[in-house]
A and B are shown apart, each in its own frame.
Chain A
Amino acid sequence: MISESARVTTAAEARFRIDAPNSRPRAVKVIALDGPSERVVKHLASREWGQASFFTASAFTAPAAAAPFSMDGWLTDLAGRTKSLIEEVESADLVVMIAASGENAQAAAIIGEACSIKSVMTTALVLGSEAQSEEGLSKSLAQLRPHAMMVVVASADEYIEDMLTALRA
């Protein structure tokens, strides 16, 4: 008699796999950490996405020196509105940080800290590594590595789009 495994692993049986959604939309927050990556993120944002939203962390480069430390107000959406980092992270399933190789990615520290507090998964993408020196890439990686569970070094900007699609953003 044919075994259960042999019977159910045919192409004919595969047609009976239930055709119903098996996941709910995921909220993915994509944050540009520097100027060059902000341009990439703006381009990405012009595409159609499910639950992805796009931000820039440019404000990190010039924090108000006299103000007491707070995680509020550290993000800007692409319309230029200030957003609360902690609120955005709290409503996220995944935070994706985009950094250009060799640029200052120090904003990753506070975003990573917020994700750690809220137990949200983090991914960091480093772009343009081919055009930059090894030293520049090393600097970016050193800033990102402590704050991301997954780090990807990609030579092509379009990888981000493929990744977000693959992750159902």
Chain B
Amino acid sequence: MLRAQQNELLTQTGPGTPMGQLFRSHWIPALLAEELPENECPPVRVKLLSERLLAFRDTDGRYGLIDEFCAHRGVSLWFGRNEHSGLRCPYHGWKYDVTGQCIEVPSEPVESGFCRKIKLKSYPLVLRGGVLWTYMGPPEQQPPLPEWEFATVPAGQSFMSKRWQESNWLQALEGGIDSSHVSFLHRSDLESDPLFKGAKGNQYNLNDAQPHFEVVESPGGLYIGARRNAENGHYYWRITQWVMPSFTMIPPRGDHPVHGHFWIPMDDENCWTWSFDYRPNRTLTEREVAVMRDGQGIHVKYIPGTFRPLANKDNDYLMDRTAQKAGKTFSGVEGFAMQDASLQESMGPIVDRTKENLVSTDNGIIMARHRLMRAAKALVEKGVIPPGVDPVHQRVRSASVILPPDQPFKDAAREHLLARPDTVHASV
């Protein structure tokens, strides 16, 4: 349970809010590189942290993320012409470069220099690992570029998708660090999805619906360990990484790629769910990429030409009660991603946490909220840089391992929880 005031603190991320300030301390994913595929391609509307923005790639290949609306009469620059190193408003011809600087006002004499007085708000937009990242905080505090392992491995070793989720970011994130739902909601998919099936760890999961948990603070966020009994008195540990504010990395299964998410607020009632799969030591196979593109694993099928899932609230998530009754799916909704999203969206745009009844196994969620509130307070009141900004905090991995009973997972699996170039991830 949270008090109403705490719920508002954590769920509101617009300009001037504490959590908005926290998000604005980090580099966050803004677009897939493929959304701006070539120089002078059409601009793309982007809404992030309750700000309407426009992304474009100019004649020289430079990326820009600027206020969506022309400073003159408030026209959306989405209708603009991307030409000759700038984006021109089609209404009266005002033109802007990738920094938002106005570089032409045709109605004014060039000599007047009037255009130099016009500048739209803009944010840096940089390409890394197939993703265009932005930093929306104070320029003088811009941190080093992100170093998440999936974004630094060679192209071909990682795959990224994104989908529109129609709920507040926090209820989506909390699903990502809630390890105990897997044995219920996703149980039918563990042994059928091509990116999950066949792992020995699945059997430990399915045989034990009451795992023991350990929640340990990490430099960037949390390690959330779930242990189940393995052979000879040993434990099967699944160790999830959460790095502030909204990165999670799910423990891998067998020889499958390792995967995870970011949840990035569009506004307070919608977020982008980013989903990545990668291999640290070799390229993804054609088959793996094909099933990811087909919406399996943690990815989704789309309504063509959009990032909206094909199964969405408008079609009741293609609910199949026959499949539910037959045990083909536990909830009647197909696929890991929409099984999660359908339930998270069903809570309403911003779930009322004053009415919830958390239990002891929800300590991962409780601790994440606790750390987010502490970090936001320290940032707002004392200017303390939040965890997760330092690239060292980003060089992490999740892991699934078998360990002797007397060893803390954090120590026994220490090297497996760090990104190590070209080494395979620890997986059972």
Q: Which residues of A approach B to under 8 Å, CB–CB?
A: 2-6, 9-11, 13-14, 17, 22-23, 94, 121-123, 129, 134, 137-138, 141-142, 145, 148-156, 159, 162-163, 165-168
> Which of the listed residues A2, A94, A166 has the most CB atoms from chain B within 10 Å of its own CB?
A166
Q: Which residues of B approach A to under 8 Å, CB–CB?
A: 1-3, 166, 210, 212-217, 269, 313-317, 342, 345-346, 348-350, 352, 355, 357-363, 366-367, 369-370, 373-374, 405-408, 411
> Which of the listed residues A6, A9, A134 has the most CB atoms from chain B within 10 Å of its own CB?
A9
Complex contact A149–B213 (CB within 8 A): yes
Pick the contact of B349: A2, A14, A137 (CB < 8 A): A14
CA distance A120 to B408 in the complex (A): 24
Complex contact B359–A121 (CB within 8 A): yes
Complex contact B315–A153 (CB within 8 A): no
Complex contact A167–B358 (CB within 8 A): yes
Pick the contact of A6: B313, B349, B355, B411 (CB < 8 A): B313
CA distance A122 to B355 in the complex (A): 23
CA distance A167 to B2 in the complex (A): 9
CA distance A167 to B405 in the complex (A): 29
> Which A residues touch B342, using CB under 8 A?
5
CA distance A163 to B277 in the complex (A): 33
Complex contact B217–A153 (CB within 8 A): yes
Complex contact A2–B2 (CB within 8 A): no
> Which A residues touch B370, using CB under 8 A?
156, 159, 162-163
24 contacts between A and B (CB under 8 A): A9-B166, A9-B313, A9-B349, A10-B348, A11-B269, A11-B350, A14-B350, A17-B348, A134-B411, A142-B406, A145-B405, A149-B213, A150-B213, A150-B214, A151-B212, A151-B213, A153-B215, A159-B367, A162-B369, A163-B363, A163-B370, A166-B2, A166-B369, A167-B358
Pick the contact of B374: A9, A13, A22, A156 (CB < 8 A): A156
Pick the contact of A150: B363, B369, B406 (CB < 8 A): B363
Contact status of A154 and B360, CB under 8 A, knowing A5-B317, A142-B406, A166-B2: no
Complex contact B217–A154 (CB within 8 A): yes
CA distance A3 to B316 in the complex (A): 6
Complex contact A166–B317 (CB within 8 A): no
Question: What is the distance, in angstroms, from B405's C-beta to the closest C-beta of chain A?
Answer: 8
Pick the contact of B367: A142, A152, A165 (CB < 8 A): A152
Q: Which residue of B lies closest to A168 (CB)?
A: B1
Q: Which residue of B lies closest to A23 (CB)?
A: B357
Complex contact B269–A154 (CB within 8 A): no
Complex contact B355–A167 (CB within 8 A): no
CA distance A129 to B216 in the complex (A): 10
> Which B residues touch A148, using CB under 8 A?
212
Q: Which residue of B lies closest to A18 (CB)?
A: B355
Question: What is the distance, in angstroms, from B294's C-beta to the closest C-beta of chain A?
Answer: 24
Complex contact A14–B360 (CB within 8 A): no
Pick the contact of B315: A3, A94, A134, A152 (CB < 8 A): A3
